Chain A
């Protein structure tokens, strides 16, 4: 039997959040945390969480598992359970709507702020724009972001200034477009980021790197943006 302790909060009935315990029979299997949540929901249908692809590509089920952010659907119990106990909390730092569901508006606003789309004002050719394999390789490690918010909600700088610091996820995406050989708005993009908060609040804590379920490295991307900002300034 697995001891599962889950953060519960229903805004209609609860004045304050609380932790609720469940005993779950895993039948000795090394289930994914999401499978355990399904079993909890079979016991208590009011248990609330987001989920979709259940294979780690849609980014719905980011949550805090025994103290570390990650995706429930690709985290096996053997990776997180300590002393026979699984503790599940919502992603930290964002307002809770209900149970493990957080309000991600601030996170999405920071994403939209960096203009997450290709800008190229030259007329498009009749076929695709050409890009060398070497230039395309520069997008690897950047475009794979799934917007799960595990990184930004593990970042103390984002907790402190979620409205002004873009956060690791948004900055990873910013760099994805800054470095794309097809994008022509590099200068404008950099000037949008050139203030004390948007980029420079990153303190290199690297929580983002340690939690990213896709193995991406926002800290490195932020370092590249800093370099670009500094060389742009001179």
Chain B
């Protein structure tokens, strides 16, 4: 008999970053009993680190800008496995969502006309790739994520959203029919375990960049929602697709925004050559991130990297002048001085491609409803479960995300999930109660750690996992190497299952949180590894030395990883946007992708 306290809500949102706060705001405004569960105080979420901006056709820089051009860029950027219904929804709804943020008070930078300032970003074009570089990324200097996250948190304060801050969601709770009816969460300050019961559970837990040794991601990005969904037996989509951001600070991993290149900065190799001119003659440094990251690695592999080990290249900004840098990129000046000991006004920043973003995640429709796949490969809506933001794969990013599209994804689909749940609650939602044994099942993992009496240490296992992913599943991948990686992960699974949680105390036990996070890192890593091994082609961010070409005949598909069998299936990409039909084309046909 468990003595669990139950907290009951109409809807719970796990995660207090951009998408979680946007969903929370929508539901709080509707008057629904809503709680946001966040393992950190919400403004400490990783959205705060987003720098360059939010891409959206608000027609400020160019009065003739068109959301369909943004859609074209995004479909092309995705290497054609982004779902065109979802991309269409995002690009079309985007302006509304961005103006809402401004009305909430987001301190966007401004043009002389008083409108929102927009800067050029990678992969952006006008007139479906024919009209040259667009400037479509709305910015608050180079602190757009910070401004966005704080604004959304403030709006939630105004609307009296309930926050369970510094609470950690452990596992989903399912009833006998496999409906999700809430989660087990622990209050970090007291250690109390609680059943948080809800008619709708939204996973807005963000990314999992910490599966890699070198990442721009915050220490908290451990894929908790992905781990929870995988343990519940639900499918995961396109997990092989990890974006390596071209400009992480060499050695430290901290992000340097693509906005630097948008404002006119460019990459040089050790000879001072602007090498992107060779790889992407048109877009140069503003080609897709996957293209730029691969070009950098090739420069390094071919001996044109800088430094004693020849293991990095440089981002040159000094020619932009101190005034522009202070005005447009003040945060970068700070970060570069702190982490690279370089003042970009005078010298170039040493940079290297660094794990940045998880394009894959929990498959959802445009309402945020989570989807799994049955034995016959058919989509099944998971009752009670929703996902949005980086944890979700709706999929607007496909095989490669464009810069500035993540913040748009957060607010558009956080909002959409909130709107859908509001309507569903109005119509009434009833699921069977979870039984005692259902609750026990969700507590098993926590109990395992609490009962551990010996075994390996958590930090050492985590470091080994991160090295494994870095070595075998990085920018370039190769079958035989990936086999080694998969074998190592299998070994790690066994050792993590027997690892030791030394500190068993209740009050603010961060060692226990790190143990629970390690379980999630392992789930994400394994899903990534098996998906990467099984997708036998190169597409977007997934680049294989043994299958160097894109294979549309076999792989113009989402990959779908099933945790119960550890196998990879396929799912059709949506090629049926609703609004552009007749207007133009039926949809955007796959083409050879060049920049």
Contact = CB atoms under 8 A, between A and B. Distances in A.
Interface of A: 10-13, 38, 41-42, 45-46, 48-60, 74, 76, 97-99, 101, 104, 108, 112, 115-118, 120, 124, 126-133, 135-136, 139, 143-144, 146-147, 177, 180, 182-183
Contacts, number: 149
What 9 pairs between A and B have smallest CB-CB spacing?
A: A118-B105, A130-B114, A117-B154, A128-B102, A58-B44, A98-B508, A45-B511, A46-B503, A117-B158
A180 B116 CA distance: 15
A56 B44 contact: no
Given A128-B98, A143-B140, 16 more contacts: A11-B507, A38-B459, A42-B457, A45-B503, A46-B502, A48-B509, A57-B331, A58-B45, A60-B40, A98-B508, A118-B105, A127-B115, A131-B114, A133-B109, A146-B43, A180-B105
Contacts of B58: 127-128
Contact of A101 (B98, B503, B508): B508
Contacts of B508: 48, 97-99, 101
A176 to B, nearest CB: 8
B220 A52 contact: yes
Given A10-B507, A58-B48, A132 B458 contact: no
A59 B44 contact: yes
A58 B49 contact: yes
Interface stretch (B79-87, B143-151, B435-443): B143-151
A220 B155 CA distance: 26
B112 interface: yes
B112 A133 contact: yes
A42 B510 CA distance: 12
Nearest to B335: A55
B452 interface: no
Contacts of A104: 41
B334 interface: yes
Interface residues of B, number: 58
Nearest to A13: B505
A144 B146 contact: yes
Given A52-B218, A147-B43, A57 B48 contact: yes
Contacts of B592: none
Given A53-B46, A55-B339, A129 B102 contact: yes
B493 interface: no
Contacts of A51: 219
Contacts of A50: 40, 44
Contact of A118 (B104, B116, B335, B506): B104
A48 B171 CA distance: 24
Contacts of A115: 158
B380 interface: no
B177 to A, nearest CB: 37
B64 interface: no
B44 A60 contact: yes
B481 interface: no
A146 B42 CA distance: 11
A74 B338 contact: yes
B105 A117 contact: yes
A92 to B, nearest CB: 19
Contacts of A116: 154, 157
B254 interface: yes
A119 to B, nearest CB: 8
Interface string B115-158: 11000000000000000000000001001001100100011011
Contacts of B278: none
B453 interface: no
Contacts of B189: 97
A133 B141 CA distance: 12
Residue among B46, B48, B115, B147 with max Cβ neighbours from chain A (10 Å): B48
B282 interface: no
Nearest to B506: A12
Contact of B115 (A54, A98, A130): A130
A12 B507 contact: yes
A131 B455 CA distance: 60
A48 B513 CA distance: 11
Given A97-B508, A132-B110, A41 B459 contact: yes
Nearest to B512: A45
A126 B102 CA distance: 11
B116 to A, nearest CB: 5
26 contacts: A38-B459, A41-B459, A45-B457, A45-B458, A46-B502, A48-B508, A48-B510, A51-B219, A53-B219, A54-B218, A54-B219, A55-B338, A56-B334, A57-B48, A58-B45, A101-B508, A117-B155, A117-B158, A120-B103, A127-B58, A128-B116, A129-B103, A132-B110, A133-B111, A133-B112, A180-B107
A27 B98 CA distance: 48
A143 B150 contact: yes
B108 A58 contact: no
Contact of A128 (B99, B220, B458, B502): B99
